[in-house]
Amino acid sequence: MNPAARYGTIQNETASRERLMVMLFETALRHIRNGAAEIDAGRKREGAALLVKATDIVAYLRRTLDHNVAPELCANLSSVYTFVCARLIKASTTRTSKPAREAERAFVPLVDAFSQAVRVAA
């Protein structure tokens, strides 16, 4: 295993639950951005595949919401996640970047807010 892959494995195995969630947010955002860029560059199949990965992560984040703990917050987050997933599905099926960019604009504030909350709590 190369050193970078080994570092990534160790980081994933030792990260806190909160840090793992931040990593999921960041990975989804990276897939959204790279997927849209691939589509714009004419590599539509590769871009769509990245957008599907992002959709899977955002759908997972939606499933992790605990509506019993914070019902209003979870309802709001669920709505954003649903919107993001819908736009990503549209982008991946039509192989156009505009819906992916719309998903990105809605998702970035969540990534920033969650990352900031984890930093402050640490």
Quote the pLDDT of residue 14: 57
| pTM for this prediction | 0.86
* CATH 1.10.10.10 for domain 17-121: no
Domain segments of the chain as ranges: 17-121
Residues of the chain with pLDDT under 50: 6-8, 10
Phi-psi category of residue 66: left, alpha or beta, with phi > 0 → left and psi -120 to 50 → alpha: beta
In the numeric block, which tokens belong to residue 58? 């955002």
Quote the pLDDT of residue 117: 92
Quote the pLDDT of residue 7: 44
